[in-house]
Structure 1
Amino acid sequence: MIYKVYYQENVLEVPVRENTKSMYIQADSEKKVRELLQGRNYNVEYIQLLEGKHLEFEQALSHFELEQV
C-alpha cells in the first residue's frame, strides 16, 4: 500500500500550513509508516492511504516519488 504523509520538517516549531510538505511511502499499514519515520525529526500531521483513482492521480503528478526509508 502507498501512503501520502503530510508533515512539518521540525517537530519543535509550531505547525504552519504553508510549511506543510508531503512524501509518499510504501508500507503495510499506517502504524508501519509511523515506525519508519520515527527516527526523523518530523511533526507528522496526517497519513493518508492512497488507492484506486486517487493513487492513479497522484502517480501521474511529476513530483510523485516513493521515499526510501
Structure 2
Amino acid sequence: MIYKVYYQEDKKRNPKREDTHTLYLEAQTEVEARSQVEAHTDHNIEFIEPIEGNTLAYEQQNPNYKLTEFTE
C-alpha cells in the first residue's frame, strides 16, 4: 500500500501548515510506514494517510510525486 506522510522537517519548532511537507512511501501497514520514516529521518510526522484507487491516480499525476525509498 502507498502512504502519504505529512511532516515537518524539524521536531524543535511548532508545526505550521505553511511548513508541512509530504512524502510517499510504500509499506505493508501504517505502523511500518511510521517506523521507516522515524528510523531514517528527523522529521516530525503530523499524519499518515493510506492512498489507493482514484486518490492514488490523482496524486501520481502531480509532477512532484515520487516514492521515497530508504536504504538500510
Q: Same fold (TM over 0.5)?
A: yes
Q: Deviations over 1:33-52 (max 9, x none)?
A: 11101231111000010011
Q: TM-score, normalised by structure 2?
A: 0.91
- Measure, in 1, the Cα distance between the counterparts of 2:51 and 2:38: 21
Q: TM-score, normalised by structure 1?
A: 0.95
Structure 1 residue runs without a partner (length 5+): none
- Measure, in 1, the Cα distance between the counterparts of 2:38 and 2:61: 29
- Measure, in 1, the Cα distance between the counterparts of 2:31 and 2:3: 11
RMSD of aligned alpha carbons:
0.7
Moved over 4 A (4+): none
Structure 2 residue runs without a partner (length 5+): none
What amino acid is aligned across from residue 33 of structure 1 in structure 2? A
Number of equivalences: 69
Report what 2:21 is aligned to: 21
